[in-house]
Structure 1
C-alpha cells in the first residue's frame, strides 16, 4: 500500500496487473490521492495522469478491468494528445478556460482528423477529467457540453464489408489456423478480441454452436457455427496439441493482424485487406441477406442496440425493388 511519504514518486513505479495498480491509488487516503493528482495535473505529467486515468477506469467504471486493449490504447493516445495541446496552449488543467475545450475540438478537426477520431479524443479527455474528479483534484467537467463533429458518412460506407471474392481467395490460400481465424470473423461475426479468446471448451461442434464467454461489456452469447467453420475447427483440432486451451495460437491483436496481412499478400490482394472489422461486417451482411431481420442480426453480433447493427450491414440499393413491384 502506498503512503503519503511516497507522494513524490512516479505513479508508474508501481507495476503489476491493472487491478493491483488501481488498488495502489484507490488505497491512498483522500488527501494523498488528491495531492498526487493535483501535482500530476500541474506538471502535465503524462505517465502519472495516464496511471490515474487507468486506475479510475479499472476501479470505478462498469467495464472495469475488462476494458479491451483497443479501448485502452485509444484512451491513452487521447490523453497524450490532450496534454500536448494543453502544454502548447498554456492550459491550467484543473481550471481550464470556458472556451478552451471547444477550441481543442476545433483544433483536432482542423488538423484533418476524421470525426470518429475526434470523438475518440474527446472521450479520452472526458475520461481524464472523470479521473481527476474521482481523485478529488477538481470539479471541472469541461467537455460535458462541448460540441462534437458529426460524421455524415455511414460506417458501412467508410469501411464496407469484405467482398465474397476476397474472403474466398484468402480461404483458398490459408493454412488451418489462418482459416479458423478468418472464419471466426466472417462466419461467426466475432470481434477480434472475442476470436482470440475462444477456448476449445467453448466449441460445441456436434451442437453447431460456439459460446462467446466474454463479449463486449463482458456479455456472453451463443453463436451458430457454419458448416465451413466447423470443418475449419475440426481440421485445426486435428493438428492441435490438445483439446484444452485457446483455439487460436495468437494472443496479441498485432500478431493476428500481421498473419492475415501476410495471407493477403500471398494472395496478391494486400490492397484489399482492411483489418478485422470488415470481416465482422461481412458476417452481419450475409446474415441479414438471409433473415432480413436487424434484431436477429444484432443478437448474432452481440449488439445491444439495433441502430448499431444498421451501421454494420450493407443493404443493396435495390433491396426494396421486389417488395414494391406489385404495389397498386
Structure 2
C-alpha cells in the first residue's frame, strides 16, 4: 500500500520512518505497524476530502480523529490497536513539528482508548525448567548443537529475565560463561542494564559454545542460525511451540512468557518489586506491578482450592458497611 496524500506528506512520512529506524532505533515490526497505521489514517482522510497535505494535517480537528477511530472500531479493530495507532500518529505529528510545519493540536485533545491490561500468564516452574534444557526435545531430528543453542537462549530468558531480542543481541565476546556472574544487555530505547547470570545458565551457554560448529568472532552474534548467520527470533518461537504439546502447555506459553515467569516466580519467593523492575529493565514500576496482580490471583486460586468453606461460605459485609451504604 503506497503513501496517500500529496508529495509533501509522502516525503515527510518516509523521512519519519527512517528517523524511527535510525535515530530512535525502534524495532522493525514497530516501525512497520506505525507506518501501516499512518497510511490507514491518510487513506481515511483522502476518502473524505481528497489527498491531504501537511497544512491539512496541522489543521485537523478532534472530530476528524474521532471519526477515524470510530471507523476502525466499526471494522472490528480492538482498543490496543487503536491505542498504538494514536501513538503512531502522535509520533508523526512530533516529526512534523520538529521540521517546522506546526503543531497538530487535535491529537492532544483526543484521549487514548481505555484498554484492560492483560495479566501475564506464567509458565509452571517445572515446565519452565524443562524448557530450558535440551532433554525435553531429545526425540527431535535436530542436530545436538541446535538443541543446545535453543536451550541456552531459553535459559537466559527464564534465568535472567531477558527479552528474546536482548538475548539474541548479545555478542560472542560478552557470552555469559562459567565464572561470569552478570552480563550487560541493551534493551528498549537502547538502554543498557546489568543482569545476574545463574551458574546453570552459564553452563547452558558454555555447552552451546562447545557444540557450535560455526566460527564465532568476538564482535559477531553469540547465537547463530543453522548456516552461521544471526539467529532469528522466529526460530526460538518455533522451538517453544514444538515443546508445548509434550509439556501440556497452552498457546500462551511463548518465549516471552518465560520472561514473565522469571518475574512472577521471583515475586512468589518474596522478591522485591523494585529489584525485579531493575532486572526486567522496565521504565515504569507500574509495568512491573502487573506481577503483584498475578501473584494475588494465584493466591486466591489456592484459597478457593484449599479452604474448607471456599465457594460455600457467604461473604459477610464488614461491620457497619450496611449502615454506611444506606447513608450514602
Global fold match (TM > 0.5): yes
Q: Give the TM-score, by structure 1 length.
A: 0.72
Is the CA contact 1:161–1:282 (under 8 Å) kept in the aligned structure 2?
A: yes
Alignment of 1:83-98 (within 5 A): 83-90=42-49, 92-98=56-62
Is the CA contact 1:209–1:223 (under 8 Å) kept in the aligned structure 2?
A: yes
Match of 2:234 in 1: 257
Match of 1:181 in 2: 153
Corresponding pairs, count: 274
Equivalent in 148, 158, 161 of residue 122 of structure 2: 161
Q: Give the TM-score, by structure 2 length.
A: 0.72
Deviations 1:218-263 (A, max 9, x none): 222111112331221010111233472322115778x322443245
Q: Distance in 1 between matches of 2:164 and 2:272?
A: 24
Q: Distance in 2 between matches of 1:173 and 1:279?
A: 17
Alignment of 1:131-146 (within 5 A): 131-146=95-110
Cα distance, 1:304–1:65 mapped onto 2, change above 3 Å: closer
CA deviation after TM superposition for structure 1 residue 286, in Å: 1.6
Which range is displaced more, 294-303 or 169-178? Answer: 169-178
Cα distance, 1:127–1:242 mapped onto 2, change above 3 Å: closer
CA deviation after TM superposition for structure 1 residue 66, in Å: 2.5
CA deviation after TM superposition for structure 1 residue 281, in Å: 0.7
Cα distance, 1:74–1:224 mapped onto 2, change above 3 Å: same
Q: Distance in 1 between matches of 2:42 and 2:230?
A: 28
Is the CA contact 1:129–1:141 (under 8 Å) kept in the aligned structure 2?
A: no
Q: Distance in 1 between matches of 2:94 and 2:240?
A: 42
Match of 2:35 in 1: 76
Is the CA contact 2:240–2:254 (under 8 Å) kept in the aligned structure 1?
A: no
Is the CA contact 2:34–2:84 (under 8 Å) kept in the aligned structure 1?
A: yes
Q: Which runs of 5+ in 2 are unaligned?
A: 139-146, 304-328
